Amino acid sequence: MLDSLFRPKKVAVIGASSKELSIGNRVIKNLLDFGFKGEIYPINPKADEIRGVKAYKSILDCPDNIDVVHMVIPAKFVPLAMEDCGKKGVKNVIINSGGFSETGPEGAAIEKDFLEKARHYGIRVLGPNCQGVINTDVDIRAYCNFTFTKPEPGYISIVALSGGVAEVIHQAFSQMGVGTRIYASNGNACDVTIPEIIRYLGDDSGTRVIVTYVEGLRDASTFMEVATEVAAKKPILAMKAGRTMEGAKAAASHTGGLAKEDIATDLIFKKAGILSFRDEGELIQAAAAFASQPVPKGNRIGIITNTGGPAVIGTDVMVGAGLTLPPLSQKTEKLLSETLYPEASVNNPVDVLATGTAQHYRTCLDAMMADNNFDGVMVNFVTPFFVDNESIAREIVEVSNQQLKPIICNLMTDRRQWTEVVKILQYGGVPCYALPGEAARAMSALVHYNKIRSRKIGEVKHFAEADKTKGAKIIAAAREKGKSNLSAEEVYSILSAYNIPTAPWRIVKSAEEALKAAAEIGYPVVIKADAESIVHKSDMGGVVVNLKDADAVQTAAAALQNTFSNDDLCFFIQKYMPGGLELIMGAKAEDALGHAVMFGIGGIFVEIMKDVVFNLTPVSSGEAEEMLASIKAAPLLEGARGKQGADRQKLAEIIQRLSQLLTDQPDIREMDLNPLIAYEDQVYVVDARISI
């Protein structure tokens, strides 16, 4: 339990300093200024007091039961200080100092040293090389941190390794007038981890929404497990940075080499039900909405506005994000026609006009809350000098407090002139945004979150007849031979062990046998060059399709023999499958996570189209269907422009069979089924590759 870290009663600072511009001084100032409810013990061998607080020569001289010790001393002194903390029975140590694993092997050795001591004494360590924690709970008021943002109490908790980003996010909330709850930045995270903190925040009743920033996940499987568990209880909003190669490198070089250029983090977010963002501004603005507003039950939004243009911008943004603006119900329309000014526009958006009164706003808000056509309301509110804006703000707050449906507000005003209006809305917990697009994006995030949480995952099907042992045997034998790429024979045998449908095929050594095989399969056939070193067959002229008779096979076989002089050259004869839709499935091993499974538009243009989606194993029935639905070319699967569609049920089944194959055979590094040829009522794999 991290309770003693986040809710400390006694905090000591080893390295407390009388120098104003030092962390050892700042931490004490912050605790005092923030009104820490517990006791502070500065430790300094030479000073009697620091900032008016009685100082102690050593941690050993302090009263007992110390919850948190800050260490603000050079790295080399930390192990010894840790030993003292152990003897004293200290529960947690926050190491603000740097000079550990982030600097190289020497620092890493010191980190290992103090960590061993901490473990020996059962001390939990936050950091090193970190800012610390803050808890705004009125009973605690712990500012165990050397940063400068003074948060108002609120419901958003922030956790990140990077102190810089955590502080930027923190500061942004403060500037928006949005309160925060717990703040934790744990730097090198040698002991207390991000998942552990997320789990704590999940249990913290004062935290309504968790915001996290990651550059890569160290212990991906634990993160996944914890995030899945916590996201089921409250919203987690996350941002992953280090997406570009350059970004990943910058991330890797600043906090002990964490980030990899990967898709795994996104897939974990998706699978765990985390709402993920690519822009920190959007993340912050969305979090502000989650902090005070209920999650909508659907995507139908009503807009109330007192000025035209901004409502148009808001509409565009929301519709672009998949939200809808349904018409008013007849009842609402009638009511508003009777209540608003005759010139007002009684549609969605409702334009109450600049002269619209507080009563007009109230009637609209109440009507939309009661109207079953709407799941949430966006208010565009410009503050004209000729109306009572404070009363309007109060009405918005009153309706927002009922928590019936989410309300977000695009407040267009001069915040220095209309301070009272801003205050009423802010303290009333109405999320306010300066731009219509920002407000609309925050609403879209709420809607999107509801979609994520209410999606039907289905179950992970188990295909009992799949022959795991046979698959494992083939892979083990290939490994024995030192192969990393399986032969066509091996690959197709594994597919058949899992009942993944392939076009009928034979592998033969000579042109003569090719003729026999073709006759057995039935014309037309395809002939492909098969040898260990031939990877992209068609690039090298190794695929000849639509061979209608024996003559054609003979000619093609002779041509292949000419082109390829490989000693191990074989002929892969396959049934020709004309006219279907070429799709791709694939897989890539992800450290400690199983595999990422891919589905998309296949064939030779796959690299150009890049219309593929991924999901982590095990892929459930709902997830498989979601994959089919989420490629850009999804309408092609339904059939378009007179072309037949694809057997989606069969495709979903193949994705799940593939998922089971990958789960059973963890040695598979990469896999490609490209293409699968899909018809309205059947699907066949016609090319496959597996590397181990």
Among 536, 610, 632, 643, binds ligand ADP (CB under 6 A): 536
Cα four-point dihedral sign 140, 146, 149, 155? negative
Total residues at interface with Mg ion (CB under 5 A): 2
Shortest distance in whole angstroms from residue 257 CB to ligand ADP: 36
CB of 64 or CB of 607, closer to ligand ADP: 607
The pair of three-digit structure tokens given for residue 420, joined into one six-digit string: 């009272």
What is the distance of C-alpha 239 from the center of its chain? 6
Q: Taking CB under 6 A as the criterion, which residues in 542-571 touch ligand ADP?
A: 543, 545
| Contact call for residue 674 and Mg ion (CB under 5 A) | yes
Residues 6+ apart with CB under 8 A from 77: none
Q: Which residues contact 642 (CB under 8 A, 6 or more apart)?
A: none
Compute the least distance from the CB of residue 503 to ligand ADP, in Å: 5
In the complex, minimum distance from the CB of residue 604 to Mg ion, in angstroms, rounded to a whole number: 7
DSSP state of 74: -
CA distance 650 to 312: 43
| C-beta of residue 210 within 8 angstroms of C-beta of residue 234 | yes
In the block, which residue shows the tokens 């039907």?
456
In whole angstroms, how close is the CB of 540 to ligand ADP at the nearest point? 8
| C-beta of 506 vs 528, nearer to Mg ion | 528
Q: Is 591 exposed, middle or buried (0-12, 13-18, 19+ CB in 10 A)?
A: exposed
Interaction of residue 184 with ligand ADP, rule CB under 6 A? no
C-beta of 691: minimal distance to Mg ion in Å?
Answer: 14
* 538 part of the interface to ligand ADP, by CB under 6 A: yes
Please give the Cα distance from 456 to 458 (Å, whole number): 6
Helix (H) or strand (E) holding 184: strand 180-185
Tokens 């039950």 sit at which residue? 297
Judged by CB under 6 A, the stretch of 158-166, 355-363, 440-448, 575-583 that binds ligand ADP is 575-583
688 binds ligand ADP (CB under 6 A): no
The listed partner (Mg ion, ligand ADP, none) that binds 526, CB under 5 to 8 Å by sort, is ligand ADP
Interface map 616-655 toward Mg ion (x if CB under 5 A): ----------------------------------------
Stretch that binds ligand ADP, among 226-234, 341-349, 471-479, 537-545 (CB under 6 A): 537-545
Determine, following the binding rule CB under 6 A, whether residue 603 of this chain makes contact with ligand ADP: yes
**Cα four-point dihedral sign 309, 311, 315, 321:** positive
Burial class (CB within 10 angstroms; exposed 0-12, middle 13-18, buried 19+) of 96: buried
Stretch that binds ligand ADP, among 16-24, 65-73, 234-242, 532-540 (CB under 6 A): 532-540
For 645, how many CA atoms within 13 A lie in the half-sphere containing its CB?
A: 14
Report the side by side order of strands in the sheet with 525-530.
505-508, 570-575, 525-530, 543-547
Interface with Mg ion (CB under 5 A), residue from 44, 146, 687, 692: 687
- Residue 21 or 608 with smaller CB distance to ligand ADP: 608
Residue 140: name the closest of 4, 42, 20 by CA: 4
Q: Are 682 and 502 in contact (CB under 8 A)?
A: no
Residue closer to ligand ADP, measured from CB, 233 or 536: 536
| Binding span for ligand ADP by CB under 6 A among 218-226, 471-479, 509-517, 530-538 | 530-538
Q: Scanning residues 440 to 499, which ones bind ligand ADP (CB under 6 A)?
A: none
Site track for ligand ADP across 621-660, x = CB under 6 A = ----------------------------------------
Residue 206 binding ligand ADP, by CB under 6 A: no
Q: Is 577 in the site for ligand ADP (CB under 6 A)?
A: yes
Instruction: Provide the sign of the torsion angle of the four alpha carbons 243, 249, 251, 255, taken in this order.
Output: positive
Least CB distance to ligand ADP at residue 455 (A): 33
Please choose, from the candidates 292, 241, 248, the residue with its C-alpha nearest in 3D space to the C-alpha of residue 427.
292
| Residue of 109, 604, 633, 640 interacting with ligand ADP (CB under 6 A) | 604
CA atoms within 13 A on the CB side of 424: 19
Least distance in Å: CB of 672 to Mg ion? 7
CB 623 within 8 A of CB 455: no
- Exactly one of 102, 167, 266, 687 binds ligand ADP (CB under 6 A); that residue is 687
Nearer to ligand ADP, 16 or 526 (CB): 526
263-295 burial, b at 16+ Cβ within 10 Å, e below that, comes to bbbbbbbbbbbbbbbeebebbbbbbbbbbbbbb
- For residue 603, the partner it binds in Mg ion, ligand ADP, none, with Cβ less than 5 to 8 A by kind, is ligand ADP
| Nearest approach, Cβ of residue 683 and ligand ADP (Å) | 13
Which of 114-122, 188-196, 250-258, 674-682 is the region at the interface with Mg ion (rule: CB under 5 A)?
Answer: 674-682
Half-sphere exposure of residue 168, counting CA atoms within 13 Å on the CB side?
Answer: 13
Q: Which does 124 bind (CB under 5 to 8 A by kind): Mg ion, ligand ADP, none?
A: none
Contacting residues toward ligand ADP, per CB under 6 A: 503, 526, 528, 536-539, 543, 545, 574-577, 582, 603-604, 674-675, 677, 686-687
Contacting residues toward Mg ion, per CB under 5 A: 674, 687
